[in-house]
């Protein structure tokens, strides 16, 4: 095939699961020459993906939106690829500039950014609606100039497709075998539940910690707190005595944590960007054979309840979260069956092995 493609990110790690492990490696397997520009990446080839590192700015968002974006663009131009595939909204101007130079450009929309802006704590509340509306208009205008969009959820896809924009939905479902160990879900596992991912208020950490005061078991907490203030608050709560704070962990450790847990928690608040999201962690819990305790959003209930692979509760009520966790502990046979149902749903529907075909088809179409 010999087409030279380049993935661009100014915000994600070069080891990002969606960008590097799923998309870039799938394109390599399909015969493309794949480059990845990312902050802090080593300048070497890993898994046949050619990495190009740029300076990783730690001085705040303004530096990332300016200096880092500039560095990404300079490196992208130097590579002179056939297709450019970018992953961050601040790279929209770069996408437009690359189109003006006659390049084929794909915008990968991970989040519904206009709705996400409405929940950004660092943006003054009176300005959020104005910034959200302004960004949405600009994003829609730029999107129409690109060769295609890749979207991470059906909701985002419908938003762009309804405007006549060529958008392909490639869900961020898990790799089928990465986290699966079929010999560990038995009654010998201790009363652990787990939360894996970024630890923030709007992802329910305060309600989860409060619920642990009411539970006879342990929360395995893996991830980085978004602020020292949040961590200091958590450590003062009565429920903290039932928490093992594991910090940031690698993928092998994630697999181990899932293997010694009885349920996985994904209890996002009902923020505009959450209610129609498809959080990767929910599907990773399912892929490992764990029942899921999730927020009772309508779109999430269609997955969890319809597949009988967990429980959905009000994420703002610690007592309801505690009841769901204790039910899992007190009903091991039913919980084990839920985990098995979730695994079957992954094998039949919610897996990357199915999704990657959409990505390859798109590249063949525009290449």
Which own/partner contact pairs does 48-52 have at CB distance under 8 Å and 24+ positions apart?
Answer: 49/20, 49/24, 49/25, 51/14, 52/79
Residue 276 DSSP code:
T
pLDDT at position 122 over 90: no
Residue 153 DSSP code:
S
CATH 3.40.50.2000 region(s) of the chain? 4-173+352-366, 192-348
Write out pLDDT tens, residues 231-269: 999 999 999 999 999 999 999 999 999 999 999 999 999
**How big is the chain by its Cα radius of gyration, in Å?**
21
Which residues have C-beta within 8 Å of that of residue 305, sequence separation ≥ 6?
312
Q: What is the mean pLDDT of the chain?
A: 94
In CATH terms, the fold of domain 192-348 is: Rossmann fold (3.40.50)
Residue 189 DSSP code:
S
What does pTM read for this prediction? 0.91
In this prediction, residues 45-56 reach a mean pLDDT of: 95
Asked if residue 78 lies in contact with residue 101, where contact means CB atoms within 8 angstroms, the answer is: no
Domain 4-173+352-366 top-level CATH class: alpha beta
Asked if residue 122 lies in contact with residue 104, where contact means CB atoms within 8 angstroms, the answer is: no
Residue 137, token pair as written in the block:
């208009």
pLDDT at position 187 over 70: no
Asked if residue 149 lies in contact with residue 85, where contact means CB atoms within 8 angstroms, the answer is: no
């Amino acid at each position: 095939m010999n087409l030279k493609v380049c993935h661009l990110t100014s915000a994600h790690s070069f080891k990002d699961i969606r960008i590097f492990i799923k998309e870039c490696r799938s394109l390599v397997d399909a015969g493309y020459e794949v480059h990845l520009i990312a902050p802090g990446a080593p300048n070497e080839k890993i898994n046949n993906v050619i990495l190009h590192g740029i300076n990783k700015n730690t001085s705040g968002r303004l530096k990332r939106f300016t200096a880092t974006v500039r560095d990404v663009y300079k490196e992208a131009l130097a590579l002179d690829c056939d297709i450019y595939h970018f992953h961050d909204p601040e790279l929209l101007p770069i996408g437009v500039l690359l189109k003006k130079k006659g390049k084929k450009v794909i915008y990968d929309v991970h989040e519904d950014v206009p709705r996400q802006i409405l929940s950004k704590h660092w943006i003054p509340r009176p300005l959020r609606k104005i910034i959200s509306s302004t960004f949405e208009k600009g994003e829609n205008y730029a999107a129409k100039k690109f060769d295609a969009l890749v979207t991470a959820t059906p909701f985002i896809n419908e938003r762009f497709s309804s405007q006549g924009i060529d958008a392909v939905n490639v869900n961020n479902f898990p790799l089928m075998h990465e986290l699966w160990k079929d010999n560990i879900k038995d009654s010998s596992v201790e009363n652990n539940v787990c939360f894996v991912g970024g630890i923030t208020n709007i992802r329910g950490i305060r309600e989860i910690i409060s619920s642990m005061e009411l539970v006879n078991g342990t929360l395995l907490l893996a991830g980085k707190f978004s602020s020292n203030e949040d961590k200091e608050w958590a450590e003062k709560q009565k429920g903290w005595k039932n928490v093992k704070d594991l910090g940031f962990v690698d993928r092998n450790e994630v697999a181990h944590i899932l293997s010694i847990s009885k349920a996985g928690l994904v209890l996002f608040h009902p923020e505009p960007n959450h209610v129609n999201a498809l959080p990767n962690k929910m599907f990773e819990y399912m892929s490992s054979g764990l029942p899921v305790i999730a927020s009772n959003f309508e779109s999430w209930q269609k997955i969890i309840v319809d597949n009988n692979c967990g429980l959905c509760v009000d994420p703002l009520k610690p007592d309801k979260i505690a009841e769901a966790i204790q039910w899992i502990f007190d009903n091991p046979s039913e919980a084990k069956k839920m985990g098995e149902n979730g695994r079957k749903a992954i094998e039949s529907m919610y897996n990357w092995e199915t999704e990657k075909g959409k990505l390859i088809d798109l590249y063949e179409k525009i290449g």
